[in-house]
Amino acid sequence: MSNFLKFLLPIFILISCTDSTDKVTEQDAKDFLAEVQEKAITEGPVYSSAYWIQSNFITYDSQKVAADFSKRGILESLKQARTAATFDALKLDPQDRRALDIIKNGFVMPPPLDDDLAGEMASIMTELEAMYGNGTHCFSEDDCYDLEAFENIIDNSRDADELLRAWSGWREIGKPMKEKYLRMVDIGNKGAQDLGFEGLSDLWFSQYDMPASEFSETVDRVYEDLKPLYEGLQCHVRAELNDFYGDDIVPNEGSIPAHLLGNMWAQSWQNVYDLVYKEESVGKPINITQVIADKGLTEVDMVEISENFFLSLGFDPLPDSFYERSLFVKPVDRAVVCHASAWDIDSVNQDLRIKMCIEKNEEDFSTIHHELGHIFYYQAYKDQPVVFQRGANDGFHEAVGDLLTLSITPNYLEQIDFATATEADIAKQNEVAFLMKKALDSVVATPWTLMLDKWRMAVFNGELTDSELNDYWWELREKYQGVRSPNERPADAFDPGAKYHVPGNTPYTRYYLARILQYQFHESLCKTMGFEGPLHECSIYGNELAGEKLRTMLAYGQSKPWQDALESMIGTREMTGTSMLNYYAPLVDWLNEQNKDRVCGW
């Protein structure tokens, strides 16, 4: 925003508010909120159905209908935001004030209140999502791969050439997104400015009950505590991969090439666990993938087992419609957005669904818990007004299911008949193995979940020229993750486009918050239960007291500042990395020992 406009906008708002104070009353505000509520209840479910069809059946027509709904929906929300602003100067009941603020600020990618720009934005957004969902790359006419086919290679292969081919192949789908993405950001920044923000970055970070700059500082400060743990892990993994692949492919210094870490985005390294941890003679973790295969579990069985965990905490069972209307298996005859998601289609009728192309393995067993975390959050806050039917902040929403995965301990696996008592005992004898496996997913995700929005915000803020966009992505990946591109990226590469949340416009800091919060929740609930052993041995499974505490907090939705919600559950208002460090304490000691003669860092 130009300085002139930055200066003008608050005055405009002030004038428009002072002007309107004579006309609007507290009762008008209440009537307006009631109207918003009524509209959301009656019209919301139809919009959700249009988006459900858009993601479940990617066709020319489903995209056309969704783009139209999206345009009309966003214009309506923008009008509501303007009306909400007319009450700015009124003294109101704090809950009404909070509701109005959410109506004014709760946007991700707003166009200005303009028919043409809203239409253009809706079309671009729909198109980008479909480009990702439909993404395929062909090396030759009969050698084509979609994401799942490429992931099958990246997750399992140990052949560096084959890995590089798959890694580079998937990134071809990002290239055609670049121009559209930049145009969308351009319109979005204008929309954010019209709402009174400096731009999209300011809008995104203003949704955390504290000034955007303070939130940004908090997020960075917490990472400083976790950095030594991550650096120790990176150092050890690099050394072991060097051992396996040799100096030419993984030099034992600097950043690790991104194609060798067992995940398309190198955001979880759990698939290379067997390469980096070999001391299993004293006991090894239970292989959940193997158990799923041995038991012949179906995708629905996996969902039911996860649901049962929530039921053991006292949550209400999911309605039949959840199982009837969710998508659990990748369809063979049509294109869908396979990236897992949870949907609150109709809160009044509790029409809740997940959409996921479940693979029968440990990773997806965790992801099912993650998705059900969203679903049970929806269930818990269903009696709140619609504006408050959100997470205390978006990180809370992402943390619920992940919290439960921390309770998938050997004892829990024994309780649900995934392991015999002997197998559980063997697993417990090697806590480092258990923690290593967990850390390769959870600790590894922290710098990644932190850097993604740093890249996005640099784009939003116009800090990069078009030709710098991709290089800056890799600069951040090196800086935060110690992970590098395995090859020189082509000039037209747009690698961020190959990660769902970029074309899908899902803010990513929420996953960083979730990583931190889930450990804080876990530590506190374990304390509530009177658990006294090491944190990683605690499971909240079957503990109604823990369930009650969790549910009470979830039921607030966004009706309170997140700091209040956090305090109500765990007694502190601060986000801190301490609980995560406590959880991994034995691994930290082990890594220090392993790395003592290595030169760490990159």
Which residues contact ligand X8Z (rule: CB under 6 A)? 267, 340-341, 367, 370, 511
Contact (CB, 8 A) for 341 and 371: yes
Residue 451: CB minimum distance to ligand X8Z, A: 12
Between 87 and 396, name the residue whose CB sits nearer to Zn ion: 396
Residue 136: CB minimum distance to ligand X8Z, A: 20
511 assigned to active site? yes
Between 86 and 267, name the residue whose CB sits nearer to ligand X8Z: 267
**DSSP code per residue over 179-194:** HHHHHHHHHHHHHHHH
Question: Quick one: what does residue 236 bind among ligand X8Z, Zn ion, none, with the CB cut-off 5 to 8 Å set by partner type?
Answer: none
Residues 382-441 that bind Zn ion (CB under 5 A): 398
Q: Which is catalytic among the residues 129, 172, 307, 371?
A: 371
501 assigned to active site? yes
Helical pair 299-312 and 394-405, crossing angle rounded to 10 deg: 100
Contact (CB, 8 A) for 447 and 509: no
Residues 333-392 that bind Zn ion (CB under 5 A): none
339 assigned to active site? yes
Between 44 and 401, name the residue whose CB sits nearer to ligand X8Z: 401
Q: What secondary structure letter does DSSP report for 468?
A: G
Question: Quick one: what does residue 177 bind among ligand X8Z, Zn ion, none, with the CB cut-off 5 to 8 Å set by partner type?
Answer: none
Residue 502: CB minimum distance to ligand X8Z, A: 11
172 assigned to active site? no
Burial class of residue 277, CB neighbours in 10 A (0-12, 13-18, 19+): buried
Between 521 and 590, name the residue whose CB sits nearer to ligand X8Z: 521
Contact (CB, 8 A) for 483 and 453: no
Residues 191-220 that bind Zn ion (CB under 5 A): none
Between 407 and 411, name the residue whose CB sits nearer to ligand X8Z: 407
Residue indicated by tokens 């290089």: 471
Other C-beta atoms closer than 10 Å to the C-beta of 206 total: 20
Residue 403: CB minimum distance to ligand X8Z, A: 13
| Closest alpha carbon to 309 in 149, 541, 569 | 541
Question: Quick one: what does residue 341 bind among Zn ion, ligand X8Z, none, with the CB cut-off 5 to 8 Å set by partner type?
Answer: ligand X8Z
Question: Quick one: what does residue 312 bind among Zn ion, ligand X8Z, none, with the CB cut-off 5 to 8 Å set by partner type?
Answer: none
Tokens of 281: 């003679």
Question: Quick one: what does residue 54 bind among ligand X8Z, Zn ion, none, with the CB cut-off 5 to 8 Å set by partner type?
Answer: none
160 vs 259: CA distance, rounded Å: 8
Between 48 and 543, name the residue whose CB sits nearer to ligand X8Z: 48
| Closest alpha carbon to 170 in 494, 507, 501, 505 | 494
Determine the Cα angle at 514 with ends 499 and 431, to 5°: 100
Question: Quick one: what does residue 105 bind among Zn ion, ligand X8Z, none, with the CB cut-off 5 to 8 Å set by partner type?
Answer: none
Q: Which is catalytic among the residues 137, 259, 369, 374?
A: 374
SS3 at position 253? coil
Q: Which is catalytic among the residues 501, 514, 523, 546?
A: 501
Question: In angstroms, what CA-CA distances link 196 with 29, 119, 193, 285, 388?
Answer: 20, 21, 5, 52, 22
Between 107 and 511, name the residue whose CB sits nearer to ligand X8Z: 511
| Closest alpha carbon to 443 in 269, 272, 598 | 269
Helical pair 60-85 and 115-133, crossing angle rounded to 10 deg: 130
Query: What's the longest Cα–Cα distance across the chain?
Result: 78
Q: Which is catalytic among the residues 145, 273, 511, 512?
A: 511
Question: Quick one: what does residue 80 bind among ligand X8Z, Zn ion, none, with the CB cut-off 5 to 8 Å set by partner type?
Answer: none
Between 230 and 396, name the residue whose CB sits nearer to Zn ion: 396
Residue 369: CB minimum distance to Zn ion, A: 11
Contact (CB, 8 A) for 241 and 468: no
Question: In angstroms, what CA-CA distances link 554 with 223, 373, 407?
Answer: 25, 10, 18
Residue 405: CB minimum distance to Zn ion, A: 12
Q: Which is catalytic among the residues 236, 339, 397, 536?
A: 339
Residue 501: CB minimum distance to ligand X8Z, A: 6
370 assigned to active site? yes
Question: Quick one: what does residue 340 bind among ligand X8Z, Zn ion, none, with the CB cut-off 5 to 8 Å set by partner type?
Answer: ligand X8Z
Q: What secondary structure letter does DSSP report for 293?
A: H
593 assigned to active site? no
Residue nearest to Zn ion (CB): 398
**DSSP code per residue over 433-460:** HHHHHHHHHHHHHHHHHHHHHHHHHHHH
Other C-beta atoms closer than 10 Å to the C-beta of 489 total: 16
Q: Which is catalytic among the residues 29, 85, 258, 340?
A: 340
Residue 38: CB minimum distance to ligand X8Z, A: 29
Residue 293: CB minimum distance to ligand X8Z, A: 22
Beta strands 256-257 and 483-484 are parallel
556 vs 563: CA distance, rounded Å: 12
Residue 328: CB minimum distance to Zn ion, A: 16
Between 287 and 506, name the residue whose CB sits nearer to Zn ion: 506
Q: Which is catalytic among the residues 259, 370, 397, 536?
A: 370
29 vs 268: CA distance, rounded Å: 47
Residue nearest to ligand X8Z (CB): 340
Question: Quick one: what does residue 511 bind among ligand X8Z, Zn ion, none, with the CB cut-off 5 to 8 Å set by partner type?
Answer: ligand X8Z
Question: Quick one: what does residue 292 bind among Zn ion, ligand X8Z, none, with the CB cut-off 5 to 8 Å set by partner type?
Answer: none
What is the total count of residues that contact Zn ion (CB under 5 A)?
1
Question: In angstroms, what CA-CA distances link 393 with 157, 340, 572, 578?
Answer: 38, 20, 16, 20
Between 511 and 541, name the residue whose CB sits nearer to ligand X8Z: 511
**What are the residue numbers of the active site?**
339-340, 370-371, 374, 398, 501, 511
**Using CB under 5 A as the criterion, which residues of the chain lie in contact with Zn ion when the complex forms?**
398
